[in-house]
Protein backbone atom coordinates (compact mmCIF):
# COMPACT_ATOMS: atom_id res chain seq x y z
CA UNK A 1 0.00 0.00 0.00
CA UNK A 2 1.23 3.46 -0.89
CA UNK A 3 1.89 5.77 2.03
CA UNK A 4 0.09 9.09 1.73
CA UNK A 5 1.00 12.00 3.97
CA UNK A 6 -1.55 14.79 4.31
CA UNK A 7 -0.60 18.26 5.51
CA UNK A 8 -3.86 18.84 7.30
CA UNK A 9 -5.70 21.57 9.17
CA UNK A 10 -8.87 20.09 10.69
CA UNK A 11 -10.44 23.56 10.85
CA UNK A 12 -10.24 23.89 7.04
CA UNK A 13 -13.20 22.52 5.08
CA UNK A 14 -11.04 21.76 2.00
CA UNK A 15 -8.60 19.84 4.18
CA UNK A 16 -11.41 17.84 5.78
CA UNK A 17 -12.87 17.09 2.34
CA UNK A 18 -9.51 15.87 1.05
CA UNK A 19 -9.15 13.57 4.06
CA UNK A 20 -12.65 12.21 3.52
CA UNK A 21 -11.97 11.53 -0.16
CA UNK A 22 -8.86 9.54 0.72
CA UNK A 23 -10.69 7.60 3.41
CA UNK A 24 -13.48 6.78 0.94
CA UNK A 25 -10.78 5.15 -1.20
CA UNK A 26 -9.75 3.08 1.86
CA UNK A 27 -6.60 5.17 2.28
CA UNK A 28 -5.75 6.23 5.80
CA UNK A 29 -3.10 8.90 5.33
CA UNK A 30 -0.43 9.85 7.79
CA UNK A 31 -1.74 13.14 9.11
CA UNK A 32 0.70 16.00 9.53
CA UNK A 33 -0.95 18.70 11.63
CA UNK A 34 1.44 21.22 10.19
CA UNK A 35 0.23 24.10 12.37
CA UNK A 36 1.08 22.08 15.50
CA UNK A 37 4.16 20.46 13.95
CA UNK A 38 5.49 23.03 11.47
CA UNK A 39 7.79 21.90 8.68
CA UNK A 40 11.46 22.78 8.86
CA UNK A 41 13.09 24.91 6.19
CA UNK A 42 14.46 21.76 4.52
CA UNK A 43 10.98 20.21 4.55
CA UNK A 44 9.48 23.29 2.88
CA UNK A 45 12.19 23.21 0.21
CA UNK A 46 11.52 19.50 -0.38
CA UNK A 47 7.78 20.12 -0.48
CA UNK A 48 8.22 22.83 -3.13
CA UNK A 49 10.28 20.40 -5.24
CA UNK A 50 7.64 17.67 -4.82
CA UNK A 51 4.93 20.13 -5.86
CA UNK A 52 7.03 21.53 -8.71
CA UNK A 53 6.14 25.12 -7.81
CA UNK A 54 7.84 28.33 -6.73
CA UNK A 55 7.52 29.49 -3.10
CA UNK A 56 5.09 32.31 -3.93
CA UNK A 57 2.60 29.72 -5.30
CA UNK A 58 2.48 27.99 -1.90
CA UNK A 59 1.55 31.13 0.02
CA UNK A 60 -1.95 31.76 1.37
CA UNK A 61 -2.34 35.39 0.39
CA UNK A 62 -5.43 35.98 2.54
CA UNK A 63 -3.69 35.33 5.86
CA UNK A 64 -2.91 38.23 8.18
CA UNK A 65 0.76 37.13 8.31
CA UNK A 66 0.94 37.69 4.55
CA UNK A 67 -0.07 41.32 4.98
CA UNK A 68 1.91 41.87 8.19
CA UNK A 69 5.13 40.66 6.55
CA UNK A 70 4.56 42.49 3.25
CA UNK A 71 4.85 39.21 1.35
CA UNK A 72 3.18 40.70 -1.72
CA UNK A 73 6.46 42.54 -2.36
CA UNK A 74 7.78 41.01 -5.58
CA UNK A 75 11.33 41.99 -4.59
CA UNK A 76 11.38 39.34 -1.85
CA UNK A 77 13.61 36.38 -2.65
CA UNK A 78 12.49 32.76 -2.63
CA UNK A 79 14.58 32.30 0.52
CA UNK A 80 12.72 35.12 2.25
CA UNK A 81 9.36 33.60 1.28
CA UNK A 82 10.44 30.17 2.53
CA UNK A 83 11.66 31.70 5.79
CA UNK A 84 8.25 33.37 6.21
CA UNK A 85 6.46 30.02 5.74
CA UNK A 86 8.72 28.37 8.30
CA UNK A 87 8.10 31.17 10.79
CA UNK A 88 4.36 31.33 10.04
CA UNK A 89 3.07 27.92 8.88
CA UNK A 90 -0.47 29.32 8.45
CA UNK A 91 0.93 30.85 5.26
CA UNK A 92 1.31 27.40 3.70
CA UNK A 93 -1.50 26.44 1.35
CA UNK A 94 -3.54 23.42 2.40
CA UNK A 95 -4.25 20.61 2.17
CA UNK A 96 -1.17 19.01 0.63
CA UNK A 97 -1.01 15.30 -0.15
CA UNK A 98 2.38 13.64 -0.60
CA UNK A 99 3.20 10.24 -2.07
CA UNK A 100 6.89 9.37 -2.44
CA UNK A 101 8.49 12.24 -4.38
CA UNK A 102 5.25 13.80 -5.68
CA UNK A 103 2.81 16.15 -4.00
CA UNK A 104 -0.34 18.08 -4.87
CA UNK A 105 -2.23 20.91 -3.26
CA UNK A 106 -5.80 19.74 -2.65
CA UNK A 107 -7.55 22.70 -4.23
CA UNK A 108 -10.01 21.47 -5.20
CA UNK A 109 -9.87 18.57 -2.71
CA UNK A 110 -10.30 16.01 -5.53
CA UNK A 111 -6.76 16.80 -6.68
CA UNK A 112 -5.40 14.59 -3.87
CA UNK A 113 -6.82 11.58 -5.72
CA UNK A 114 -4.37 12.23 -8.60
CA UNK A 115 -1.61 10.78 -6.43
CA UNK A 116 -3.41 7.57 -5.53
CA UNK A 117 -4.73 6.52 -8.90
CATH superfamily entry for domain 5-115: Glutaredoxin (3.40.30.10)
- Give residue-wise pLDDT tens across range 2-14: 799 999 999 999 9
Q: What radius of gyration do the chain's Cα atoms show?
A: 14
Enumerate the domain spans of the chain: 5-115
Q: Which residues are catalytic?
A: 12
- Give residue-wise pLDDT tens across range 50-82: 999 999 999 999 999 999 999 999 999 999 999
- Give residue-wise pLDDT tens across range 88-110: 999 999 999 999 999 999 999 99
pLDDT for residue 117? 74
Q: Is residue 1's pLDDT more than 70? A: no
Output the pTM of the full model. Answer: 0.94
Give CA–CA dist 102/17, Å, rounded: 20
Amino acid sequence: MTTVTLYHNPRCSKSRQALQLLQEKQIEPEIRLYLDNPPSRDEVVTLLAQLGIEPRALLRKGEQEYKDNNLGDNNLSDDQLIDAMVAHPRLIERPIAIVADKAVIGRPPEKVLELVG
